[in-house]
Amino acid sequence: MPKGRLKEGDIIDGFAIGTLAHTGGMAKLYHVSHADHPGRLLMKVPEMGSGTDPAMIVGFEMEQMILPRISGAHVPRFVANGDFARVPYIVFEQLPGKSLYPELDRLPRPQPEVIEVATKVATALADLHRQKVVHLDIKPSNILFRDTGEAVLVDYGLARHLELPDLMDEEFRLPYGTAPYMAPEQILGVRSDFRSDLFALGVMMYFFSTGRRPFGDPQRMKGLKKRLWWDPPPPRELNPMVSKAFQEVILRCLEIDPARRYQTAAQLALDLGDLFHVRLTARAEKLERDPWSVRLKRRLNPDPIELIRPQGAAAILASAPIVLVAIDLGAASRDLAEALRATVSQITRNRPHARIACLNVLKIARIALDSDLDAEGNNKHVMRLVELKHWAAALGARDGDITYHVIESVSTAQAILTFARDNNVDHIVMGARPNSTLRTLMGSVSAEVAGSAPCSVTVVRVRGAAVTGAPQADEAGDHDGVELGDAGHDHVADA
């Protein structure tokens, strides 16, 4: 995408760009109109200049994947997507009014108001979870309301759809979320538990009832993990107007172990709608934090957390192989590209649920600071994504069965190996580079990968492009004179 910005009057895929509606840290929102789509619309366009966080680009991809697959009164109506090859965007309906964010200036709020809002949000979460989506970023700025009163949950850049690949989890090892609202299991890297959203709603209910965030706003992992053993002051200690029943509900949502929280958003909404029938426990009676001795015991001997991934998602992942295709976009010839695609098609032909992960490594210098823009002002990361998608188009894979990954690393081989290990890859497919003096001196990437890979490796070479002096590879498998037996099931495919 060129570095130029959209301006009022531009036409993108039939959408007329209007005034700028909002500028956020990761994207801009524009008012747009289209002859075929009546009503008030917004176009979300990510910021992709110098210094762009790759996680933001991946998050935008996730949102493009998820929004078309969800519907109903509690999500914004999806209209259209724009491809990264030209202008990446998402167009959706413009909702009336503002988010809950301005309400933070008026905290604490009376209990009936907090309960009314929380009930609507819990109802919206129940609908979203039925559509197999965990939001993972529930907070005031991501909650709006329709004229008819329903809560609408927006911004799916951190969300997880249980039937789609989770690019955020595959490409980034650090947890992503909004620090005050992140659930303990989310901090520990679990992104598929619906109860994480209930924890975030509990944080919001606490905040709106007391004017204080239960766990503050930590900026480092050490501060985030503190909530695994440090309990917040009970709401009634900060605001005596909070009833025992409502404190019971809030603190149940904030339990460290998801197994001790409400198990569904529908159950939570039911209790919020009738506090009189809430079963009170010791949570309701608390008027101060646990003693230091109790907190220290939890710190030194933390209670085990029941981290349950939905069985449906686990079964899909367990029964389907992940095929990683490492693609050298700069050096690969057309013949090698065709040979790679043919090999991938052969491997996945009888595996209808196979996942194909297309990977390109963007080499970065060890010491020098590389620019993330090319000579034309395009973001290198984005352009590589565009090229990967173009390369894979001929495979004809279904949406959700293929993903694209650009990894920044000083070592191509180590980036491939790390991705394979972190994501339980079953098979690596990669091309053999042509002969070169540099490869002779430093060794080949394919040999390094095959020697250390945790899975099968197929190295594809175009027939007739063998290295001078090296033995031809056969199905048992050597390549460039290096034995490929260490990984267990390696072979070289000749096109």
List the pLDDT tens digit at each of the 495 positions of the chain: 444 478 999 999 999 999 999 887 788 999 999 999 999 999 999 987 776 788 889 999 999 999 999 999 999 999 999 988 888 999 999 998 889 999 999 999 999 999 999 999 999 999 999 999 999 999 999 999 999 999 999 999 999 999 898 888 888 877 889 999 999 999 998 999 999 999 999 999 999 999 999 999 998 999 999 999 999 999 999 999 999 999 999 999 999 998 899 988 999 998 999 898 898 999 999 999 999 898 888 888 887 787 666 553 333 334 457 889 999 887 667 888 888 999 999 888 877 768 788 999 988 876 666 677 877 788 888 888 899 998 888 888 876 678 888 988 889 999 999 988 877 678 999 988 666 554 554 458 888 999 899 999 999 988 765 443 333 333 323 333 332 333 334 455 544
Are 307 and 200 contained in the same domain? yes
Pairwise CA distance, residues 396 & 240, whole Å: 61
| CATH assignment at residue 394 | 3.40.50.620
Total-model pTM: 0.75
Instruction: Give the total number of structural domains in the chain.
Output: 3
Q: Are 465 and 449 in contact (CB under 8 A)?
A: no
Q: Is residue 99 part of a domain?
A: no
Q: Are 151 and 213 in contact (CB under 8 A)?
A: no
Q: Is residue 101 part of a domain?
A: no
Which pLDDT value is given to residue 331? 60
**Which residue pairs, CB below 8 angstroms and at least 24 apart, start in 4-13?**
4/377, 6/30, 6/45, 6/87, 12/43, 12/82, 12/86, 12/87, 12/89, 13/80, 13/82
- Kindly report the backbone phi and psi dihedral angles of residue 479, in degrees, each rounded to the nearest multiple of 5, phi listed first: -150, 125
Q: Is residue 6 part of a domain?
A: no
Q: Is residue 214 part of a domain?
A: yes
- Kindly report the backbone phi and psi dihedral angles of residue 489, in degrees, each rounded to the nearest multiple of 5, phi listed first: -140, 40
Are 141 and 274 contained in the same domain? yes
Q: Is residue 2 part of a domain?
A: no
Which pLDDT value is given to residue 350? 76
Are 142 and 283 contained in the same domain? yes
| CATH assignment at residue 45 | 3.30.200.20
Q: Is residue 184 part of a domain?
A: yes
Domain-terminating residue out of 289, 311, 333? 311
Domain-terminating residue out of 39, 65, 93? 93
Q: Are 489 and 475 in contact (CB under 8 A)?
A: no
DSSP string, 437-479: HHHHHH--HHHHHHHH-SSEEEEEE-TT-PPTTSPPP-SS-EE
Are 218 and 363 contained in the same domain? no
Are 325 and 289 contained in the same domain? no
Angle between helices 380-392 and 54-66 (to 10 degrees): 40
DSSP strand pairing (15-23 vs 151-153) = unpaired
Q: Are 361 and 412 in contact (CB under 8 A)?
A: yes
Pairwise CA distance, residues 486 & 317, whole Å: 26
Q: Nearest to residue 322, comparing CAs of 245, 428, 173, 218?
A: 428
Are 293 and 356 contained in the same domain? no
Q: Is residue 98 part of a domain?
A: no
472-to-208, 339, 479, 480, 487 alpha-carbon distances in Å: 70, 17, 7, 8, 19
Domain-terminating residue out of 311, 337, 357? 311
Are 128 and 277 contained in the same domain? yes
- Domain containing 78: what range? 11-93
Q: Is residue 3 part of a domain?
A: no
Pairwise CA distance, residues 39 & 17, whole Å: 14
Are 26 and 125 contained in the same domain? no
Are 172 and 295 contained in the same domain? yes
Are 274 and 368 contained in the same domain? no
Which pLDDT value is given to residue 98? 87
What one-letter code names the amino acid at 280?
A: L
Are 230 and 376 contained in the same domain? no
Are 280 and 306 contained in the same domain? yes
